[in-house]
Structure 1
Amino acid sequence: MDIKKYVALIKATDLFKDIPYEELLTRFTFDSYSISNYKKSSIIHFEGEKCLFLDIILEGHVIIQRIDENGNALTIVDFHSGDSIGGNLLFSKYPYYPMTIMAKTATKILHVKKSLVLELCQLNSTFLIEYLSSISDKTAILTNKIKVISLKSIRDSIIDFLKYESFLQNTTNIKLNITKKELAERLGLQRTSLSRELKKMKNDGLVDFNANYISIIDETIIK
């Protein structure tokens, strides 16, 4: 694919923002990158697959999931346009994806070869700083998410979600923009466990809910 069609999208990312247009055209030779389109719900990288590229999301929404032997999925983190994937693995001695990476929506990804990433790190200090920052941030995100999942009770996880959404939506009547299944995956729960705990919270007079909303009845839980 002709890189010229995508330069505007590439320069909109933090990694490439400081690299001039003409230099991008020069660096992105036909054998240094590829661009792939992924349909909604398709697998981008399987767990255990070797990381060969730095992936830049040009368009779309990507999720990283941990799928157990029973097929239960735990959504660890979401990435969107401008985010990069694989930077922490590309130069690792064990460069294999520890989790499954899936397209949440139709997604377009720029795959940058290791040789070009190394070249850009050596030639452009802003790229190097942003690359290192990205690696650090993603490591912190993954560590914190795993820590939260391992320590919190089901009710605590639900309440944290309600606190966050109540703040964002500025209401105690929380509109669910995702399905109950997706919410369970985000919280690291089985859907049945989520439903069971919501019913207990309803019986305790803390919340009320239907398919589209969770209403906070006892506002002390989000204080």
Structure 2
Amino acid sequence: MTYNNNPLFTDITSKDCLKMLSCFHSEEKIFSSGETIYHFSSQKPVIGILLHGDASVLRYEFNGSRTILEKLEPSSVFGEILAFHSEEYEAIHLQCDTNCKVLMIDYDSLMKPCANACACHTKLIQNVTWLISKKTMSLSQRVEVLSKRSIREKLYCYFMQESLRQKSHTFQIPFTMSDLADYLSVDRSAMMRELKKMKEDGILSSEKRMIRLL
């Protein structure tokens, strides 16, 4: 298995990747659909790479309702900003949407100074810092969506973000309609009614997960 095409290992050779992964006590794990990959509060901090499959970062509230914080696809890196013990994350976990294979890397081993002052280790830490910056931007975009008052404003803001990210007015969202409602923290029925009105008003067209902004 080669990992150097993952953003965590940008500008690091395959040989150096394998050498560091051995030093960092990394391991590959396989999970079934619906299984929990990682609890962000109850386990040792890690940085993980989703090698195969799809997964969701979920938060469950005291009343049993859930919020989808993030959707992960193959090559996604998780834990680089949430992998710290905190009561704030006690209800947050990563769950498989499909069967998944994950590479787990011990966070403390990765971030501690290298005794040999290896250039590849220094580069890896720089990549982690870049990923944290990227994740912070992603979280800021989510806050922007949730800050909108109406369901229409939330939908349009999210669709505009996806349009810019995918560089097209026609794009596929990573959510089912139920999951999209969870992600936006809105009632699904109310969201579907608003989507219908947006189509009637000529703002967009949609076919399942495909959205086109008009």
TM-score bucket of the superposed structures, by smaller chain: 0.7 to 0.9
* 1:36 Cα deviation from its structure 2 partner: 0.9
**8 Å CA contact retained: 1:77, 1:142:** no
Structure 2 equivalent of residue 212 of structure 1: 208
Q: How does 1:1-223 map to 2 (within 5 A)?
A: 6=1, 8=2, 10-29=3-22, 32-46=25-39, 48-90=41-83, 92=84, 94=86, 97=89, 99-118=92-111, 123=118, 124-163=121-160, 170=169, 178-201=175-198, 205-206=201-202, 212=208
**8 Å CA contact retained: 1:89, 1:96:** no
Q: 1:31 to 1:18 in 2, by over 3 A?
A: closer
Q: 1:116 to 1:19 in 2, by over 3 A?
A: farther
Q: Percent identity?
A: 21
* Superimposed CA distance per residue, residues 174-215 of structure 1 (whole angstroms, 9 cap, x where no aligned partner): 87774321221232222122134335556x645798873788
Distance 1:12 1:205 in 2: 43
Distance 1:42 1:109 in 2: 12
* Superimposed CA distance per residue, residues 18-54 of structure 1 (whole angstroms, 9 cap, x where no aligned partner): 3333333333338812211122232222353234321
SS for the counterpart of 2:50 is strand
Q: 1:48 to 1:15 in 2, by over 3 A?
A: closer
What letter corresponds to residue 150 of structure 1 in structure 2? S
Distance 2:162 2:132 in 1: 27
Distance 2:178 2:7 in 1: 33
**8 Å CA contact retained: 1:55, 1:110:** yes
* 1:150 Cα deviation from its structure 2 partner: 3.0
Computed over aligned residues only, the root mean square deviation of the Cα atoms, in angstroms, reads: 3.6
SS for the counterpart of 2:22 is coil
After TM superposition, the structure 1 stretch with the greater mean CA deviation from structure 2, 70-79 or 118-127, is 118-127
SS for the counterpart of 1:29 is helix
Distance 1:159 1:49 in 2: 36
Q: 1:107 to 1:97 in 2, by over 3 A?
A: farther
Query: Under a length normalisation based on structure 1, what TM-score does the superposition of the two structures give?
Result: 0.72
* 1:145 Cα deviation from its structure 2 partner: 0.8
**8 Å CA contact retained: 2:80, 2:128:** yes
Distance 1:63 1:157 in 2: 20
Provide the aligned length of Structure 1 versus Structure 2. Answer: 207
SS for the counterpart of 2:110 is helix
Distance 1:19 1:95 in 2: 35
Unpaired runs of 5+ residues, structure 1, are 1-5, 217-221
